[in-house]
């Protein structure tokens, strides 16, 4: 199940598509979530900041997800770089998400820390025109995410 719009452009506090609500608003519009696991992937669109409301937006998002899902386990996945460079703003978002997840008792996966996309692979995995993963890039991302989720499951 995917909440919110069927394309990117939104984050916890920023949206680049006026028709796409930020995460706290998107999850509030769902009345009931019937899932075995909730994976929240976000942060890339929040890198421009400001991050003054970032923690509150993550709190509201997670609180709503828990209330709507009957406490289904949640995993948070941070942003990934799609050009191989990691700007300071993206690092700050990743660190904030990681700290929030730790405090909330939520497993956190950091594509930045694990260097999923880097200068060696971006040319084959990222469509340079759209600055989003290509078909091969989506398959790669999905494989990395599946492996990371399996490690979390094994550790529990």
User: What pLDDT score does 48 carry?
Assistant: 85
| Residue 59 and residue 97 in contact, taking contact as beta carbons nearer than 8 Å | no
Report pLDDT for 93. 95
Which residues share a beta bridge with 133?
126
Closest CA to 78 of 48, 51, 104, 99: 99
What pLDDT, on a 0 to 100 scale, did the predictor assign at position 2?
54
Mean pLDDT by 10 residues, the chain (156 residues): 57 84 92 92 87 95 95 93 85 96 97 93 89 91 96 66
CATH code, 23-113: 3.40.50.1110
Entry pTM: 0.90
- Cβ proximity of 22 and 15 under 8 Å: yes
């Amino acid at each position: 199940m995917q909440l919110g719009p069927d394309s990117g452009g939104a984050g916890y506090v920023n949206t680049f598509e006026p028709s796409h609500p930020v995460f706290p608003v998107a999850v509030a519009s769902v009345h009931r979530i019937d899932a075995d696991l909730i994976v929240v992937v976000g942060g890339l669109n929040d890198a421009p900041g400001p991050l003054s409301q970032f923690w509150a937006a993550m709190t509201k998002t997670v609180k709503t997800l828990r209330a709507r899902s009957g406490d289904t386990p949640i995993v948070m996945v941070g942003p990934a770089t799609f050009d191989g460079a990691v700007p300071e703003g993206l690092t700050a978002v990743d660190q904030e998400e990681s700290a929030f997840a730790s405090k909330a008792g939520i497993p956190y996966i950091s594509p930045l820390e694990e260097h999923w996309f880097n200068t060696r692979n971006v040319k084959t995995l990222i469509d340079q025109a759209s600055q989003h993963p290509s078909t091969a890039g989506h398959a790669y991302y999905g494989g990395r995410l599946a492996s990371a989720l399996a490690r979390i499951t094994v550790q529990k």
